[in-house]
Amino acid sequence: SLPKKVTIIEVGPRDGLQNEKQLVATEDKLQFIEGLQQAGVEEMELTSFVSPKWVPQMADSKEIVAGTKKMGRQFVLTPNERGIQSALEAGSDALAVFVGVSDSFNKKNINKSTAESMEALKPLIHKLKEDGIFVRACISTAFYCPFEGAVKPEDTIRLCRQFVDWGVDELSVADTIGMANPAESYHLFKQLKEAFPTTLITAHFHDTRKMALANIFAALQTGVDRFDTSAGGLGGCPFAPGATGNVATEDVVNMLHRMDIETGIDLDLLSKAIEKIESHVSNPINTGIYTLYKNR
Ligand code: HMG
Ligand code: MG
């Protein structure tokens, strides 16, 4: 049976804005975040503490954390010790680390092989867990890699198992370039739910090939009740050629509500939040549900 309630992890302020060609002003990002909070979003990726040379759009991470009202669980992405240190100094208590299953993608994204990334992360995660920090591990290229093609589910599961052994609280498993199909989504998430029954399992779909909603429905059937989504469907990793936006929060919330599954998110207020960011971004905003609600 399907879950009665689903948790939406809004990744718009991070995944959504990191791929923007033009810089979005800190104040405009904060307005967007506030709008999302007002719409009922309880878990959100606020920003990332990464090298501003690599991702200039996230250079204001400190100001974003400082300017955001504390409410629910607020993640920041951190790739290394320096990022973790800065995030903790900024007052974050929920950190997301990220690594790709495929080496070629990981090198393009973090300048390390997957094994090198894992070796560096192990003591850092150990320390974070000792200090009581919530740790989410984001697993990129869990289905397909833009450079290597299909990724074996066994390889994804092996990487997830290392993180689970190190005590992470959550695995966010990503279809980075939006290539997975619903049969693959069902197959992988079924195995992950069975293998890691006490770890939070979250699905992160990009919608490049318009299969994200179907992939979510497939994952729901395996018991997954946490989904990363981005308001307006913005998003994409700058180091994953061909990746477009994340599945749109409003599309997912609408589908779930139509299925009598609760999310706690108000679609009228969500469309107000999207309106706040719409004029500040150059990537296309997902229309559909947003247009319906905006014009009510
Ligand atoms: P590097 O060049 O190998 O490392 O980059 P470095 O140590 O030589 O650092 C380069 C410069 O950045 C240095 O500055 C460092 O001090 C600085 P310089 O001395 O040249 O002036 N630096 C930092 N500055 C601020 N915060 C930091 C930091 N670290 C170093 N934390 C590095 C390695 C990991 C830093 C780089 O590759 C990087 O920042 N990568 C981030 C890439 C990224 O953000 N990708 C998008 C997020 S992941 C994603 O979108 C996927 C996801 O959505 C799931 C999915 O869909 O698949 C999560
Ligand atoms: Mg992503």
138, 145, 160, 237: the catalytic one is 237
Ligand approaching nearest to the C-alpha of 151: 1
Residue 50 Cα to ligand 1 midpoint, Å, equals 4
Q: Determine how β-strand 149-150 pairs with β-strand 94-100.
A: unpaired
Instruction: Assign 296 a pLDDT band (cuts: 50, 70, 90).
Output: confident
pLDDT at residue 242 greater than cutoff 90? no
**pTM for this structure?**
0.98
Q: Of 31-45, 186-200, 222-236, 280-294, give the lowest mean pLDDT range.
A: 280-294
Residue 287 has what pLDDT?
86
- Look at ligand 1, atom 16, and give the residue with the nearest C-alpha: 51
Of all residues in the chain, what percent carry a pLDDT higher than 90?
Answer: 95
- 160 as an active site residue: the answer is no
**Backbone angles phi and psi of 66, in degrees to 5:** -65, -35
- Look at ligand 1, atom 32, and give the residue with the nearest C-alpha: 110
Distance (Å, whole) CA 186 – CA 222? 7
Is ipTM over 0.85?
Answer: yes
Ligand approaching nearest to the C-alpha of 100: 1
- CB neighbour class for 295 (10 Å; exposed up to 12, middle 13-18, buried from 19): exposed
pLDDT at residue 294 greater than cutoff 90? no
Distance (Å, whole) CA 8 – CA 172? 12
Site to substitute for ligand 1 among 45, 48, 51, 135, most atoms within 8 A of C-beta: 51
